Amino acid sequence: MQRFLAVLTFFGVMAGTTAVAAPFTYTNERFGTVCTFPDEIFTLRQPEPDNGDGQQWLTADGASLICSGILNIDDDTPKAFVSAERASKEPGYKITYSKTGKDWAVLSGIKGGNIFYERRLFGKDGVIRTVWIDYPPALKSKY
């Protein structure tokens, strides 16, 4: 169910794009995070990190997509995660939207001058699975 929600969420985010693109599904071997996205847009696959946490793709116009997972070693909850992010004093980081459910959290805002969207699924298996998208503000209508 968590994988389905991650895929469904991403397609919902990408529904506003004007490009017609074929879907690509990536599965992270270490954590089982699954992301489906238009690989005709996110064409520049970056090297996977040595720790196998996830994968990043870039676009020619400056957008980025990360599909990853981490171990929830602190037993973090969706509400605690959002609360900590809202309390962040990191320069250039501002949360403009947040929502939580029983096992998920969504954030959106500005980081480093880009708009970002983040969805985290808190698995019963002790893994937090994440989809992160960021893009320049000039591309807001596309992404």
| pLDDT value of position 26 | 95
Q: Note down pLDDT in tens along the chain; length 143 residues.
A: 555 445 444 545 554 445 566 799 999 999 999 999 988 999 999 998 999 999 999 999 999 999 999 999 999 999 999 999 999 999 999 999 999 999 999 999 999 999 999 999 999 999 999 999 999 999 999 98
Domain boundaries, the chain: 2-139
The CA distance from 21 to 113, in Å, is 27
- The predicted pLDDT at position 5 comes to 47
- The pLDDT assigned to 37 comes to 92
Say which CATH superfamily domain 2-139 falls into: Mog1/PsbP, alpha/beta/alpha sandwich (3.40.1000.10)
The pLDDT score that the predictor gives to residue 102 is 98
How confident is the model at residue 39, as a pLDDT? 84
Q: Can you give the pTM of this predicted structure?
A: 0.82
Pick the closest to residue 67 from 2, 129, 137 (CA basis).
Answer: 129
